[in-house]
Amino acid sequence: MIHYPEGHEFPRVEEPEYLTQQQKCSLLVDVGSQMAKDWEYAGTPGNRNDKSFAWTPRSTCEADSATTPVAIPVYGAEYKNFNIDYNLIWTVYSGGLGLVNSGPAAYIATENGHPHTAYIVFRGTLGVTDLIIDAKYQLVANPITKDPANGFAHEGFSEYFEGLGIVAGGYRPKEGAHKPAGPTLYDALNALPGKGIKHLIVTGHSLGSAVSTLVAAFAVNLDIFETVRGSVSASPRVCNPLMKIWFEGLQDKQGNDLQHRFWRLTNTKDGVPELPKENMGPGIEYRDVGRYVWFEADYNADADGVTIPAGQKIGTTVNAGSFVIGTYYAIKTQGLIGKTDFTLIGAVENEPGVIFKATGVGTGNGKADIANLLQANPNHNPCCCYSFAINHPEDTYNRSFNTPGDEFGGDCHFPIIPARTSSASSPTG
């Protein structure tokens, strides 16, 4: 069952309205998540190269069908009622090893019949480079105001947010990357009022939820929208106690408190929303913001932990023959002569970026990077877990979810593996 905040002290968005809002947001997030997978399997075009990314919006999540059945495509998207802006908003960020990465982060959509409301939709974590962003938990000054008096935010999420382009002129703070083809966040949002948009809803999943938190505050600060709302899922913590106070003081042009109109859907069996921990060490504290909405759905008892070999860390490259059974890896390369067949040791496909739980040590000369559960954890899945729950609020457990060792042996898979359009390369380069 979906549970709402205790006390209902601030019913500025009534629960039925929230339910409908989050159902729509989950659908749009699933389209964005599939977009990210399509980009990965196209070879990450635009990431340190001049190849363009031909995006065709798709709805591949069967868990959305309860409220949004497939209908006649609109602008190529396989779901009804939404119009998509094909100009993706890209971010530029550090990917480790001295590399600068660029990747599609968000898109804007409007719903037929609601011409004055726009959704800005952020995808979740994809690949090892995003995991590096997730792991940068040191605190930096509020990236929206740059004033320490307004608190501090997660370093990695702040970098990703700033890489969207948050000042006039299209400036992005990272140099050395291929210039993204899409608009900056600043330009994209500032163009909306001229198109009749008065209301903005910000949504995302996982990393996309964390960035959405910053973007919602940013949009309020722009003071160009009558209302700003947030409706996210599986969000990690973003800011320290002082920035939480600042966030709670934000109001849109109609005088609505952002704090009471920013909803966080959370699976209590998903460990990601508990990260970073509230106390990460001396001077490093984190707090939740927004209104907490929760459900409980546990698909894998092993999802609460991950095996990391001693002396190694997430992102470490491991050679075939040395994989540790029970550890999650992201395929980096099959190698050349004497290729590694990753499908023999737990992977669904021999493609870069595929995350698998090792069932053997491997053979050949392939390589894989140690991953974590942000993608592999079924309790974190945006479609089969979160979308199913919000579309079935009375019974949030998805018995058709295909998970390792699942007694039901279901058929819900997400995202789907797209057809290859070019030779893929690792998201890390």
Least confident span in 67-81, 140-154, 158-172: 67-81
Sign, CA dihedral 43-49-54-59, equals positive
* 359 occurs within a structural domain: yes
**Residue matched to tokens 């209590």:** 268
pLDDT at 340 over 50: yes
Q: Verify that 348 and 283 share a domain, yes or no.
A: no
Give the pLDDT band of residue 153 (cuts 50, 70, 90). Answer: very high
Q: What are phi and psi of 32, to 5 degrees?
A: -65, -40
Q: Give the closest residue to 154 by CA, choosing from 92, 236, 212, 215.
A: 236
Interatomic CA distance for residues 244 and 259, integer angstroms = 9
Give the pLDDT band of residue 349 (cuts 50, 70, 90). Answer: confident
More confident residue, 421 or 319: 319
* 390 occurs within a structural domain: no
Sign, CA dihedral 363-352-101-50, equals positive
Q: Verify that 291 and 314 share a domain, yes or no.
A: no
* 418 occurs within a structural domain: no
Mean pLDDT over each residue of the chain, to the nearest integer:
84
Q: Verify that 343 and 202 share a domain, yes or no.
A: no
Which H or E element spans position 186? helix 185-191
**pLDDT tens-digit map of 379-420:** 899 999 999 999 999 999 998 886 655 555 567 778 877 654
Interatomic CA distance for residues 329 and 347, integer angstroms = 9
**pLDDT tens-digit map of 185-236:** 999 999 999 999 999 999 999 999 999 999 999 999 999 999 999 999 999 9
* 314 occurs within a structural domain: yes
Q: Give the closest residue to 22 by CA, choosing from 296, 293, 251, 235.
A: 293
Interatomic CA distance for residues 297 and 133, integer angstroms = 27
pLDDT at 15 over 70: no
More confident residue, 155 or 95: 155
pLDDT of residue 42: 83
* 426 occurs within a structural domain: no
**pLDDT tens-digit map of 126-151:** 765 676 788 889 999 999 999 999 99
Q: Verify that 194 and 248 share a domain, yes or no.
A: yes
The conformation of residue 42, written as its DSSP 8-state character, comes to T
- Contact (Cβ atoms closer than 8 angstroms) between residue 205 and residue 232: yes
User: Which residues, in sequence order, are CB contacts of 142 under 8 Å at separation 6+?
Assistant: 148, 150, 151, 152, 153, 239, 243, 246
pLDDT at 422 over 80: no
Neighbouring CB atoms inside 10 A of 140's CB total 17
Number of domains within the chain: 2
Give the pLDDT band of residue 88 (cuts 50, 70, 90). Answer: very high
Containing domain of residue 335, as a range?
307-371
Q: Which residues of 52-72 are buried (b: 16+ CB within 10 A; e: fewer)?
A: ebebebbbbbbbbeebbeeee
Q: Verify that 164 and 212 share a domain, yes or no.
A: yes
CA geometry: angle 300, 65, 80, nearest 5 deg? 140
Least confident span in 75-89, 188-202, 325-339, 361-375: 75-89
* 395 occurs within a structural domain: no
Which of 295, 316, 344 represents a domain boundary (last residue)?
A: 295
Q: Verify that 314 and 253 share a domain, yes or no.
A: no
Q: Verify that 282 and 351 share a domain, yes or no.
A: no
pLDDT at 13 over 70: no
Q: From residue 176, how far is each of 44, 91, 151, 168 by CA, in Å?
A: 17, 13, 30, 20
CA geometry: angle 207, 211, 213, nearest 5 deg? 120
* 352 occurs within a structural domain: yes
What's at 191, amino acid-wise? A
Which of 323, 356, 371 represents a domain boundary (last residue)?
A: 371
pLDDT of residue 255: 96
Q: Verify that 127 and 264 share a domain, yes or no.
A: yes
The stretches of 8-75 forming alpha helices (DSSP H) are 15-41
Q: pTM for the whole thing? A: 0.80
Give the pLDDT band of residue 313 (cuts 50, 70, 90). Answer: low
pLDDT at 355 over 80: no
Which of 371, 399, 415 represents a domain boundary (last residue)?
A: 371
Q: Verify that 132 and 192 share a domain, yes or no.
A: yes
For residues 19, 23, 29, 35, the Cα torsion angle rounded to the nearest 10 degrees is 180
What does the pLDDT average to over 58-85?
62
DSSP letters for 214-258: HHHHHHHHHT--SEEEEEEESPPP-B-HHHHHHHHT-B-TT--BG
What does the pLDDT average to over 102-107?
93
What does the pLDDT average to over 284-289?
96
CA 309 to chain centre: 27
Q: Verify that 268 and 325 share a domain, yes or no.
A: no
DSSP letters for 383-403: IIIIIHHHHSTT----TTB--
Q: Verify that 255 and 328 share a domain, yes or no.
A: no
Give the pLDDT band of residue 1 (cuts 50, 70, 90). Answer: confident
pLDDT of residue 406: 53
pLDDT of residue 50: 74
Supply the CATH number for residue 227's domain: 3.40.50.1820
pLDDT of residue 79: 64
* 406 occurs within a structural domain: no
Q: Verify that 125 and 194 share a domain, yes or no.
A: yes
What's at 37, amino acid-wise? K
